[in-house]
């Protein structure tokens, strides 16, 4: 009976319990001066623990299961305004609670608010003491039906939480820090991933010769997961037969229950604590570079959990934003599909890798007592690559790029002994089959069919989907168009001068730019990827401005500019900032810079960067090597004049600056126009926790506000006209699914997807 009740709760949660995911809403904590002038006794010290013993315990707990790669030590706490920290009131009546958490030796600290419910007008920030790493603000729009809030790690061994509550708040906020997680492995400190050995045999995804034609697209469906603040696994976004863009996420059940070491796991809580990292890839084949960390989402709800087959199907609380370029993989729940097979995964939390198997897939039993017999596809030996701890939940694709299974575990590794090839090496991995989890019985909470094929038609396989269709964003790359993106360099100036040609150097260039031609087209630019070599010095005292220019043959009128430091901003599916984090560029890496306002260009545009307040040889951007391109697209500015880089360095080149754009219609609208919320502050759209009301906020007090509600395919469902800044539109009568909301308020236009 208890099982049936839990099953019903899981089903209802997946249908109705979608709250607002973690969203950052701007603002900043109090300045350092305020911090120093208040009590220093607001820190709570976490108890010491034996890191060596934890690492030893981890090694003893290693099993054939590839999930549960632990990187943090969990402290269970109950820290709140009454039990810890310090409180004071500002001159305007704002109440401030500040709590410091110290865990000596931590590479980073992340927390889970086990209770999070704050009134409108309140703000929560998390940061390190020198405020070089700030998360937030989190507001009442982060309240959810789960009443929890997982937060990504803050670098260092000291964390400060700061809560602002206005004097006229409707109620006193409830904030309880229920978990503090101490990172003892330095999750983001090194690549390849931790404990994977020196013989790292898994190719970066971009190394595959079919990357551009095949794996670039389907690879976007695979995400890195941080679960419960301390475990690493993988997940895959899946399409469904409705093709409605519902963000289903496939992983392994043992990733959610600590390899079956938790009795009666609270899957709702664990799913709510998940952080997903999209597009965490090395931008080049070799050397391996740290991938972009800017694109992430948090929180999901459980849909189907089947421990006997290792199935875990979750649903993200909201749709990933367009400039994450998500892809929902197709699947085959009928059979093994066709060879060759590929496994795409994040071993040990590293950047995305790929394995290849060209043989026949046979059903086998994975010798773990929890699993039913003959439930897994067996990989006897990889032709290329291997898996590792932390790879669990990752997909196995057939030759048609359909998911046929997800990784439970195995014994493969990168060590190979020629005289004893059967003892070591890339052998014996096991992926649970989709077909055995498709419809084991009629119980909805353990079946894939109920969620992926809710129709009465017998459909057992389906191709993949870009949820944005014709409005999908694309990544432009002159390196790919003009040459080989793997043949890059951080070019140095000729002696006796010193420094980077496309960075700080003793010849004192003013700015650098990369040009793009989109003749006859108009695009919305959401942001840019920038690939930089390891910085010799610190960015802390530098000022870097990134800008967009129109032009005709060279950079011209300024369209947009913003200060850029090495930051990553984790954004959730409602297209507003989740967290913003300063990071050192202490190794070769890729960074995504999301633009903070709407940027539109046509025909020709340029992305520039200007470096100020930096002395010495510190900062640069990668460029194509000599002989790789006959077309120059890079520019250098000196004495107020722009010059083609080829005239300075005597060869044509391109800078590793890739914008992410959406092509627009001649009317200026994007097809099925999806606008990130934070980029149009004049209009905001969100749903209530019960998904029965649609709330629209505008700053328009004089003109009519037009609201259109459309299906995901663009079919008009209803249209309404209002004269109000605050609009409430009932949507409880609509069926479950994805919808498009378009709003026109005076000159402001906005559109977004909502999940009901």
Strands annotated E in 484-628: 488-489, 511-532, 543-551, 555-564, 567-571, 577-582, 589-594, 600-612, 623-624
Question: Which region among 201-215, 292-306, 360-374, 408-422 has the lowest average model confidence (pLDDT)?
Answer: 408-422
Whether residue 580 has pLDDT greater than 50: no
Write the DSSP assignment of 130-191 as a string of letters: TSSEEEEEE-GGG--TT--EE---EESSEEEEEEEE-TT-SS--EEEEEEEEEESS-TTS-S
Beta bridge mates, 570: 579
Whether residue 12 has pLDDT greater than 50: no
**Residue of 82, 77, 87, 81 lying closest to 114 (CA atoms):** 77
Whether residue 352 has pLDDT greater than 70: yes
680-755, CATH topology level: Immunoglobulin-like (2.60.40)
Write the DSSP assignment of 81-120 as a string of letters: TTTSSEEEE-TTS-EEEEEEEE-TT-SEEEEEEEEEE--T
Whether residue 301 has pLDDT greater than 70: yes
- So what's the pLDDT on residue 94? 92
Rounded to an integer, the average pLDDT of 316-335 is 92
Confidence of residue 616 (pLDDT cuts 50, 70, 90): low
Whether residue 145 has pLDDT greater than 90: no
Token couple for 305 = 């959990």
Whether residue 14 has pLDDT greater than 60: no
- So what's the pLDDT on residue 388? 87
Which pLDDT tens digit goes with each residue over 241-259? 999 889 999 999 999 987 7
- So what's the pLDDT on residue 565? 64
Which pLDDT tens digit goes with each residue over 645-658? 999 999 999 999 99
Which pLDDT tens digit goes with each residue over 165-223? 999 999 999 999 999 988 887 655 433 333 344 346 889 999 999 998 899 999 999 99
Task: Write down the domain spans for the chain.
Answer: 1-467, 474-663, 680-755
Q: Which CATH class is domain 1-467?
A: mainly beta
Whether residue 683 has pLDDT greater than 50: yes
| Reported pTM | 0.72
Which pLDDT tens digit goes with each residue over 483-500? 788 899 999 998 888 889
Distance of alpha carbon 492 from alpha carbon 511, whole angstroms = 16
- Greater confidence, 467 or 613? 467
How many residues comprise the chain? 756
Is the Cβ–Cβ distance between 726 and 683 less than 8 Å?
A: no
**Residue of 688, 701, 682, 694 lying closest to 720 (CA atoms):** 694
């Amino acid at each position: 009976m208890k099982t049936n009740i839990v099953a019903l709760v899981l089903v209802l949660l997946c249908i109705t319990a979608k709250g607002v995911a973690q969203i950052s809403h701007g603002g900043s904590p109090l300045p350092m001066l305020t911090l120093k002038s208040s009590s220093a006794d607001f820190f709570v010290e976490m108890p010491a623990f034996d890191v060596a013993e934890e690492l030893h315990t981890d090694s003893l707990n290693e099993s054939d299961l590839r999930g549960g790669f632990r990187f943090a030590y969990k402290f269970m706490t109950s820290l709140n305004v009454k039990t810890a920290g310090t409180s004071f009131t500002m001159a305007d009546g704002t109440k401030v609670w500040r709590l410091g958490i110290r865990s000596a030796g931590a590479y980073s600290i992340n927390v889970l608010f086990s209770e999070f419910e704050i009134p409108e007008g309140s703000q929560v920030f998390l940061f390190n003491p020198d405020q070089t790493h700030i998360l937030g603000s989190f507001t009442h729009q982060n309240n959810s039906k789960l009443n929890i809030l997982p937060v990504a790690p803050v670098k260092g061994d000291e964390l400060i939480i700061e809560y602002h509550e206005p004097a006229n708040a409707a109620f006193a906020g409830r904030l309880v820090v229920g978990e503090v997680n101490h990172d003892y492995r330095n999750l983001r400190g090194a690549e390849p991933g931790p404990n994977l050995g020196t013989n790292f045999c898994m190719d970066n995804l971009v190394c595959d010769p079919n990357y551009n034609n095949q794996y670039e697209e389907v690879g976007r469906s695979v995400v890195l997961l941080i679960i419960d603040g301390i475990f690493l696994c993988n997940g895959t976004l899946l399409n469904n037969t409705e093709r409605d863009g519902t963000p289903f996420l496939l992983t392994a059940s043992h990733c959610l229950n600590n390899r079956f070491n938790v009795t009666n796991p609270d899957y709702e809580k664990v799913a709510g604590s998940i952080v997903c990292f999209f597009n965490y890839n090395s931008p080049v084949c070799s050397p391996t570079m740290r991938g972009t960390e800017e694109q992430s989402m948090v929180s999901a709800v459980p849909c189907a959990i089947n421990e006997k087959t290792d199935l875990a199907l979750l649903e993200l609380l909201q749709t990933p934003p367009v400039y994450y370029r998500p892809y929902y993989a197709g699947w085959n729940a009928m059979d093994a599909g066709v060879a060759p097979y590929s496994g795409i995964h994040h071993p040990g939390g590293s950047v995305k890798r790929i394995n290849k198997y060209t043989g026949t897939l046979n059903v086998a039993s994975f010798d773990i007592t929890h699993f039913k017999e003959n439930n897994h596809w067996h990989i006897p030996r990889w032709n290329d690559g291997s898996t590792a701890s932390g790879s669990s939940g990752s997909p196995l694709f057939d030759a048609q790029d359909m998911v046929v299974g997800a990784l439970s575990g195995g014994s493969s590794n990168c060590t190979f002994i020629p005289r004893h090839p059967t003892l070591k090496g890339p052998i014996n991995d096991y992926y649970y089959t989709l077909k055995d989890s498709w419809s084991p019985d009629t119980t909805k909470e353990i079946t894939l069919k109920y969620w992926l094929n809710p129709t009465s038609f017998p459909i057992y396989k389906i191709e993949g989907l870009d949820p944005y269709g014709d409005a999908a964003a694309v990544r432009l790359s002159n390196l790919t168009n003009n040459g080989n993106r793997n043949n890059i360099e951080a070019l140095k100036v000729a002696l006796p001068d010193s420094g980077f040609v496309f960075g700080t150097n003793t010849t004192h260039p003013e700015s650098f730019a990369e040009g793009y031609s989109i003749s006859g087209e108009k695009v919305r630019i959401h942001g840019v990827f920038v690939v930089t070599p390891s910085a010799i010095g610190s960015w802390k005292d530098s000022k870097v401005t990134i800008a967009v220019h129109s032009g005709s043959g060279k950079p011209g009128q300024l369209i947009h500019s913003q200060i850029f430091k090495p930051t990553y901003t984790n954004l959730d599916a409602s297209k507003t900032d989740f967290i913003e984090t300063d990071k050192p560029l202490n190794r070769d890496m890729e960074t995504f810079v999301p633009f903070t306002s709407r940027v539109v260009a046509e025909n020709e545009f340029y992305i520039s960067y200007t470096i100020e307040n930096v002395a010495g040889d510190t900062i640069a951007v990668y460029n194509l090597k000599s002989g790789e391109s006959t077309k120059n697209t890079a520019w250098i500015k000196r004495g107020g004049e722009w010059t083609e880089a080829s005239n300075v360095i005597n060869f044509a080149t391109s800078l590793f600056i890739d914008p992410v754009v959406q092509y627009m219609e001649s009317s200026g609208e994007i097809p099925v126009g999806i606008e990130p919320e934070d980029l149009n502050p004049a209009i905001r759209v969100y749903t209530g926790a019960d998904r029965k009301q649609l709330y629209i906020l505008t700053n328009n007090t004089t003109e009519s506000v037009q609201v259109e509600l459309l299906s995901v395919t663009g079919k008009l469902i209803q249209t309404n006209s209002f004269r109000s800044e605050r609009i409430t539109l009932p949507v409880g009568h609509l069926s479950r699914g994805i919808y498009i909301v378009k709003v026109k308020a005076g000159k402001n236009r906005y559109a977004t997807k909502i999940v009901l």
